[in-house]
Amino acid sequence: MTYSTHSIVRPIAGRLALDFLNTANWSSEGRVVQEKIAGMVDLDVWLRALDLFNAIHPASVEDIYAFRSNLRSVFLDGPQQVDLDLDQHLQSLKVQAPSSIESLRCQPILGIVAVSAMSLLNDARELKRVKMCPGSDCGWLFVDETKNARRKWCIMETCGNRAKAARSYARKAKA
């Protein structure tokens, strides 16, 4: 199920870099089980939903996949473990002094995501609040911004409800 065919874009992560990582559902082993960006049309749908419709596209979908996979490893394994080459993507921005919000939106998307990732990775307080949804074949990352830091699910209406229903079913089957 891709964004252009069935899926609704739900930016739930709290940060652009994490919403970018959530353009796929992940297995517990770290492989993609459901791809939401199968082509540039899907990327356009995602960019429009995040109000980044003027962002410049990468050369290919494979570039998106490689960057996303490496970025996910950085968040899960630590920045020193993976050669993400964020500097390359930051240099690709070629940012000039912005004259408007619109001029900021007209940057290369991987560069914009790299800036978001760098911001998050360099803030230890935020980084320790990055969590992964324990839902079956979900693996989405999000910033837990709750007061008591007890958010567990990416979206309670999907992963949380599935887990609650499974526990209820197991209790009834056991009785």
Query: How many CB atoms are closer than 10 A to CB 160?
Result: 17
pLDDT over threshold 60, residue 10: yes
For residues 113-131, give the mean pLDDT: 90
Q: What are the backbone angles phi and psi of residue 24, rounded to the nearest 5°?
A: -145, 155
Phi, psi of 31 (to 5 degrees): -100, 155
Range list of β-strands (E), the chain: 24-26, 32-35, 130-132, 141-143
Pick the CATH number of 16-174 from 1.10.3300.10, 2.30.40.10, 1.20.1250.20, 2.60.40.10: 1.10.3300.10
pLDDT digits 0-9 by tens, 105-114: 667 888 888 8
Q: What is the CA radius of gyration of the chain?
A: 17
What is the distance of C-alpha 104 from the center of its chain?
20
What is the overall mean pLDDT for the chain? 83
pLDDT tens for 24-46 read 999 988 899 999 999 999 999 99
